[in-house]
């Protein structure tokens, strides 16, 4: 990756919360990508996530240096459980994956939007 954006990868809700705690008060612009977990070949069980992943990677290459992205992997059984913590959490209220949010704001991109470079860039570059 050309740029020095910080990219943290976690699995599941507890690890996600811990990562947010760790970075949210830093001077970094904190984002989270909620996405489907990967199999042994590095492919996600979620087709839309596979489409978004390379686009987000590309956008991160030119993202501002103060960017920090947490990728939170969610496995299929967890996601299919309608009562999972990601859906239930008042702060996140996740309704689809992939979803890319700017933590602490109302700015988010969902599903197909995450696969559009210009939209991902707008989210990452917005002040």
Partner 1 sequence: MFRVQVPDQDAPDMERAHDFNFDLAVLGGGSGGLACAKEAAKHGAKVVVFDFVQPTPLKTTWGLGGTCLNVGCIPKKLMHTASIYGELAEDAQLYGWNLTKNSHDWDRMVGNIQNHIKAQNWKIRVDLRDKNVTYYNEYATFVDKHTVKSVNKRGAERTVTADKFVLAMGGRPNYPDVPGAQDYAITSDDIFSLKYHPGKTLCVGASYISLECAGFLNGLGIDTTVMVRSILLRGFDKDCSEKIGGYMEQCGVKFLRPCVPNKIECVKEATDSSAPELRVSFTQNGEEKSDIFNTVLFAIGRKPLTDKINPGAIGLKYDPNGKIPVTEEELTNVDNVYAIGDLLNAPELTPLAIQSGRLLAKRLYAGSKILTDYVNVPTTVFTPLEYGSVGLSEDAAIAKYGEENVEVYHTKHTPTEQVVREASALEGYNYAKLICNRADNERVVGLHYLGPNAGEITGGFGLGLIMGATKSDFDRLVGIHPTSSEVFTTMNITRRSGQSIDVEDC
Kindly list the residues in this chain that would bind partner 1 in the complex (CB under 8 A).
105-109, 113, 116, 118-119, 122
Nearer to partner 1, 38 or 123 (CB): 123
Please, what is the minimum distance in Å from the beta carbon of residue 99 to partner 1? 13
Q: C-beta of 35: minimal distance to partner 1 in Å?
A: 19
Instruction: Write out the catalytic residue numbers.
Output: 46, 49
CA distances from 118 to 17, 20, 65, 108, 114 (A): 28, 26, 18, 14, 9
Sheet holding 99-102, edge to edge: 6-11, 67-74, 29-36, 99-102, 108-110
DSSP H helices, the chain, are: 12-23, 47-61, 76-80, 85-88, 117-125
Nearer to partner 1, 27 or 118 (CB): 118
C-beta closer to partner 1: residue 25 or 106: 106
Q: Compute the least distance from the CB of residue 113 to partner 1, in Å.
A: 6
């Amino acid at each position: 990756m050309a740029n020095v954006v910080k990219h943290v990868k976690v699995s599941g809700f507890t690890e996600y919360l811990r990562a947010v705690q760790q970075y949210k008060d830093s001077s970094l612009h904190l984002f989270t990508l909620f996405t489907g977990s990967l199999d042994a070949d590095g492919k996600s069980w979620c087709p839309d996530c596979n489409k978004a992943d390379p686009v987000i990677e590309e956008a991160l290459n030119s993202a501002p240096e103060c960017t920090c992205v947490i990728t939170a992997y969610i496995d299929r059984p967890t996601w299919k459980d309608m009562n999972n913590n990601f859906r239930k959490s008042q702060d996140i209220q996740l309704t689809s994956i992939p979803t890319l949010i700017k933590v602490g704001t109302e700015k988010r991109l969902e599903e197909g939007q995450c696969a559009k470079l210009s939209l991902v860039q707008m989210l990452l570059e917005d002040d």
